[in-house]
Amino acid sequence: MSEFSVRPARTGDIPEIETLIAPLVESRVLLGKDRVVFYEAVQEFRVAEDAEGRLIGCGALHVMWEDLGEVRTLAVADHWRGRGVGNAILESLEAEARDLGLSRLFCLTFETGFFGRNGFDEIEESIVSPDVYAELVRSPDEGVAEFLDLSRVKPNTLGNTRMLKQL
């Protein structure tokens, strides 16, 4: 068996996902969410676990529109950083995106080096048409509000960089 493996998340992983991302939420690198939101989105998550079955990383793919998805909540345990865990999770999410028919992936991140090395480019302009924007603005999802750069989420996104990858 390899050092770690990536698999779809299960409901039993949610408390460990929360523990894993807690330091990043406290330092405002990731947006905190209520536990119920994680359970509602469990099918969006992939987790990495070490050879003993301990959770060492996570990431989620959220479909935003017919061709567009967002990479969310990508995190790796400190002692596993730089060992390919984030890359493996991102590759799994990208494969899922392709299977779903998506052609673009968005992220809002402080980790521009990591995402840049993985084919994401910084963007400034809007990446959806006005009619799609009008549909997306109806979503109650906070991540969609961040994507749209709505004023109500500005305090949560200060300093983050908007990045996009063509699949």
pLDDT of residue 111: 92
Distance CA 71, CA 74 (A): 7
pTM, rounded to two decimals: 0.88
pLDDT tens-digit map of 89-147? 999 999 999 999 999 999 989 999 999 999 999 987 677 777 887 888 888 877 777 77
Distance CA 142, CA 45 (A): 17
pLDDT of residue 118: 97
Q: Is the dihedral of CA 154, 138, 69, 81 positive or negative?
A: positive
Hey, what are 164's tokens?
């996009």
Given pLDDT bands bounded at 50, 70 and 90, which one contains residue 156? low
According to DSSP, residue 21 is labeled H
pLDDT tens-digit map of 44-101? 999 999 999 999 999 999 999 999 999 999 999 999 999 999 999 999 999 999 999 9
pLDDT of residue 148: 74
Hey, what are 137's tokens?
């603005």
Residue located via tokens 């119920």? 36
pLDDT of residue 147: 76
